[in-house]
């Protein structure tokens, strides 16, 4: 129910929303997605995957073999040249279709600001009702850079025409995984 509510709101602001039962199923979606979007091992073609619990227990070699441009080390230079950025996020809010996450680690910001396509991974159990709920959980004492992300980057500064992807990502792909535990 909460997932459906979130999906409606998030799609309403131009996000793409998917849900899978296991990490393996999610990977079965992500790898072909990266291939299809033309990820290559060359500047402007990289896919950068920032560290996070999803990667625990996952053998990265076959992933890299399937998509040679996919990298798990994030640097400023690579991020500037990447096509896709993948990161994990903390919470999803049903009221506005927003993602809320601690991005104190700069890598988390690099892959989610500089990429053309941002893929956000999140456990389905992390959906909350709204800002009030998330403000009870997040703590600026520990999280020095809290980011709310609601859809792709947008502007209406020229003749008030809504245009997607001005500085930040042009696409936001949100992938829910029901069971974030378990390996491949």
- Interacting residues toward another protein by CB under 8 A: 9, 13, 75-76, 80, 95-98, 104-106, 109-110, 113-114, 131-132, 135, 138, 140-141, 143-161, 163, 165-169
Single out the residue of 184, 180, 175, 179 nearest to residue 87, CA to CA: 175
Nearer to another protein, 121 or 134 (CB): 134
β-pair partners for 19: 176
Nearer to another protein, 75 or 184 (CB): 75
Please name the residue that has the structure tokens 């500085």.
167
If DSSP codes are grouped into helix, strand and coil, which group holds residue 160?
A: coil
CB of residue 108 to another protein, shortest distance in Å: 10
Q: What is the dihedral of CA 73, 181, 178, 19, to 10 degrees?
A: 30
CB of residue 104 to another protein, shortest distance in Å: 6
Please name the residue that has the structure tokens 């999280």.
143
Nearer to another protein, 66 or 138 (CB): 138
CB of residue 173 to another protein, shortest distance in Å: 15
24's CB contacts (< 8 A; 6+ apart) are 184
CB of residue 96 to another protein, shortest distance in Å: 4
């Amino acid at each position: 129910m909460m997932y459906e509510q979130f999906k409606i709101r998030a799609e309403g602001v131009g996000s793409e929303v998917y849900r899978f039962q296991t990490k393996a199923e999610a990977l079965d979606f992500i790898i072909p997605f990266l291939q299809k979007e033309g990820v290559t091992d060359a500047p402007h073609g990289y896919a950068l995957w920032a560290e996070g619990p999803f990667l625990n227990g996952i053998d990265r070699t076959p992933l890299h073999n399937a998509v040679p441009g996919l990298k798990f080390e994030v640097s400023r230079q690579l991020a500037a040249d990447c096509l896709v950025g993948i990161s994990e996020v903390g919470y999803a809010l049903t009221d506005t279709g927003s993602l809320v996450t601690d991005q104190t680690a700069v890598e988390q910001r690099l892959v989610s600001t500089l990429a053309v396509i941002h893929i956000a991974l999140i456990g389905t159990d992390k959906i909350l009702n709204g800002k009030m709920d998330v403000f009870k959980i997040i703590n600026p004492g520990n999280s020095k850079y809290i980011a709310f992300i609601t859809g792709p980057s947008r502007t209406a500064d020229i003749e008030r025409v809504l245009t997607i992807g001005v500085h930040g990502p042009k696409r936001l792909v949100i992938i829910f995984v029901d069971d974030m535990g378990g390996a491949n």
